[in-house]
């Protein structure tokens, strides 16, 4: 799932807020959030 989310983020189909939702539903980790977005996760 991580690779799909990262690719969609890079294509600007997802923004930081959408990626946060994936952390909340445990599809990606907080570390993966930072890897995708380049910013620290803040709940």
- Report how many domains make up the chain: 1
pLDDT band per the 50, 70, 90 thresholds, residue 43: confident
Position 43 in a domain: no
Position 31 in a domain: yes
Position 10 in a domain: yes
Position 6 in a domain: yes
Q: State residue 22's pLDDT score.
A: 98
Position 30 in a domain: yes
Round to whole Å and give the CA distance between 14 and 7. Answer: 9
Q: State residue 39's pLDDT score.
A: 98
Q: What is the pLDDT of residues 2-42, one digit of tens each?
A: 999 999 999 999 999 999 999 999 999 999 999 999 999 99
Range of the domain at 29: 2-37
Q: State residue 12's pLDDT score.
A: 98
Position 11 in a domain: yes
Here the tokens at position 25 are 């539903």
């Amino acid at each position: 799932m991580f690779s799909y989310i990262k690719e969609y983020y890079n294509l600007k189909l997802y923004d930081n807020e959408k990626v946060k939702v994936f952390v909340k539903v445990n599809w990606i980790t907080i570390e993966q959030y930072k890897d995708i977005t380049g910013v620290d996760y803040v709940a």
